[in-house]
């Protein structure tokens, strides 16, 4: 067997050009497959990161009725019971983000606009979504301030600028009227139009006063260090809370429609990936056929001087194995730097396509992922395809007429 392996290895380099062409076809296939799956995974990661950081977080603790009927009457009491439950799983929890929010009418003079008023702790929001970095005018408030920070779209629609007053009118806790006047101390720009045109931020205590809901929250966001802990917390955290009053929801439960639409799109792209695999398989098959037909006379002579068909088939199989391994490893070596560069420098999209991305809630970029499983999965897939294609020389050897082949 060792002799056959050595012969197979030497055969590869007797005709270096032929071998390099075959290896290149495998290499090109691996790079193409890695690029496509890297884009798919990068888009998924961007989607989850955008959704998690901008809206829902990894998990939320809510009032048990809030998810089905989000109103100020279904806010949760943020007290000792919640703190004790969080303390028990503090090793899994990175940090928490308290919020209280509801829809109100924003006005200046005779202009009005529907807005979403959100009470936040600025240092927590900064850690979650780097909110302060989006400021275009003014500055972010602190916990003890009493002014508002508004979206740039709200400022433009209501013709508000720094120092102007925005009037907010809405519904508070248990039927209380929510009404207040707040100076505009900052203007913030979001990449997503929905946020840009509706968001009004207040300090948490000020928003709780505005909604007449002291020590209450609409949701308590939980951020984890390791995404694998999300399902663990979702399973065990509710055991520490009274299920008559509290519910724990993951981001998947909070946005099922969006995730379903994204998974459908993901399935379509994966279908295209398998079409690519098929095309790649035929490409490799074509190079293998070329290689075998160039060597038919060689095979005929080897068989005529006494080499067994099984031994020749093993040599061909090992040749294909070596070519597949070299091609796959070369594809990973070539593909990783390219994907790493694209990961650090995502492709920016513009014009109409950028508007589509923004309307869907994505940043207008084409991101690429460098998750290790992408390279491993693609390498294994292409390797298997190459091995299956490599069965053709084996079949050819067993069906070869050695006399006619030797005469060619």
* pLDDT higher than 80, residue 134: yes
> Which residue did the predictor score with more confidence, 159 or 355?
159
End-to-end CA distance of the chain: 29
Q: What angle do CA 277, 282, 286 make, to 5 degrees?
A: 145
Mean predicted confidence (pLDDT) in 254-262: 72
At 285 the three-state DSSP class reads: helix
> Which residue did the predictor score with more confidence, 172 or 252?
172
> Which residue did the predictor score with more confidence, 339 or 318?
339
- Report pLDDT for 405: 57
Tokens standing for residue 97: 């983000």
Q: What is the pLDDT of residues 376-399, one digit of tens each?
A: 887 888 788 877 887 877 777 777
Mean predicted confidence (pLDDT) in 179-201: 89
Q: Which of 84-98, 216-230, 238-252, 314-328 has the lowest mean pLDDT?
A: 314-328
Which of the listed ranges 197-201, 315-319, 366-370, 376-380 does the model predict with the highest average pLDDT?
A: 197-201
Under a CB-based contact definition with an 8 Å cutoff, are residues 110 and 269 in contact?
A: no
Distances (CA, A) of 391 to 33, 134, 311, 351, 397: 22, 58, 14, 49, 10
Confidence band, pLDDT 50/70/90 cuts, at residue 262: low
- Report pLDDT for 408: 58
pTM over 0.85: no
Half-sphere exposure of 279 (CA within 13 A, CB side): 11
- Report pLDDT for 98: 93
Strands 148-151, 177-188: parallel, antiparallel or unpaired by DSSP?
parallel
Nearest C-alpha neighbor of 114 from the set 124, 127, 102: 102
How confident is the prediction for the chain on average, in pLDDT? 83
What is the distance between the alpha carbons of residues 124 and 99, in angstroms, rounded to a whole number?
10
- Report pLDDT for 209: 93
Half-sphere exposure of 24 (CA within 13 A, CB side): 7
* pLDDT higher than 60, residue 136: yes
* pLDDT higher than 70, residue 353: no
* pLDDT higher than 80, residue 14: no
To 10 degrees, the CA torsion angle through 190, 144, 107, 76? 80
- Report pLDDT for 152: 93
Confidence band, pLDDT 50/70/90 cuts, at residue 81: confident
Residue ranges covered by each domain of the chain: 2-52+258-407, 59-226
What is the distance between the alpha carbons of residues 46 and 3, in angstroms, rounded to a whole number?
52
Mean predicted confidence (pLDDT) in 241-263: 80
- Report pLDDT for 349: 74
- Report pLDDT for 404: 64
Under a CB-based contact definition with an 8 Å cutoff, are residues 250 and 59 in contact?
A: yes
Q: Going along 237-364, which residue ranges are E strands? A: 246-250, 347-348
């Amino acid at each position: 067997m060792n002799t056959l392996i050595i012969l197979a290895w030497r055969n590869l380099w007797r005709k270096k050009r032929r071998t390099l062409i075959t290896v290149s076809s495998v290499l090109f296939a691996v790079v193409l497959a890695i690029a496509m799956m890297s884009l798919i995974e990068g888009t998924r990661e961007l989607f989850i990161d955008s959704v998690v950081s901008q809206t829902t977080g990894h998990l939320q603790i809510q009032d048990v009725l809030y998810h089905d009927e989000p109103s100020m009457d279904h806010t949760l009491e943020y007290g000792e019971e919640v703190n004790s439950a969080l303390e028990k799983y503090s090793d899994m929890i990175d940090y928490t983000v308290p919020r209280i929010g509801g829809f109100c009418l924003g006005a200046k003079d005779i202009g009005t606009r529907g807005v979403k008023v959100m009470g936040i702790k600025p240092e927590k929001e900064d850690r979650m979504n780097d909110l302060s970095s989006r400021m275009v005018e003014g500055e972010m408030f602190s916990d003890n301030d009493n002014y508002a920070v508004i979206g740039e779209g709200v400022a433009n629609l209501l013709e508000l600028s720094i120092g102007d007053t925005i009037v907010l009118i809405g519904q508070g806790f248990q039927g209380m009227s929510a009404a207040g006047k707040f100076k505009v101390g900052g203007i913030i720009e979001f990449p997503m139009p929905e946020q840009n045109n509706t968001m009004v931020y207040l300090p948490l205590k000020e928003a709780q006063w505005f909604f007449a809901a002291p020590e209450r929250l609409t949701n308590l966001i939980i951020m984890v260090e390791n995404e694998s802990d999300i399902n663990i917390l979702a399973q065990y955290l509710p055991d520490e809370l009274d299920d008559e009053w509290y519910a724990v929801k993951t981001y998947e439960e909070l946005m099922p429609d969006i995730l379903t639409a994204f998974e459908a799109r993901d399935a379509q792209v994966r279908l295209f990936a398998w079409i690519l695999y098929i095309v790649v398989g035929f490409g490799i098959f074509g190079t293998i056929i070329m290689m075998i037909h160039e060597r038919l006379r060689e095979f005929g002579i080897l068989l005529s001087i006494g080499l067994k068909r099984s031994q020749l088939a093993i040599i061909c199989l090992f040749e294909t194995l070596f070519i597949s391994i070299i091609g796959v490893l070369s594809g990973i070596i070539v593909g990783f730097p390219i994907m790493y560069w694209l990961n650090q420098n995502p492709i920016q999209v513009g014009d109409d396509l950028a508007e589509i991305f923004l309307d869907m809630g994505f940043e207008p970029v084409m991101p690429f992922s460098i998750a290790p499983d992408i390279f491993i999965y693609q390498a294994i897939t292409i390797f298997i395809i190459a091995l299956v294609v490599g069965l053709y020389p084996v079949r050819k050897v067993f069906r070869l007429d050695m006399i006619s082949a030797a005469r060619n």
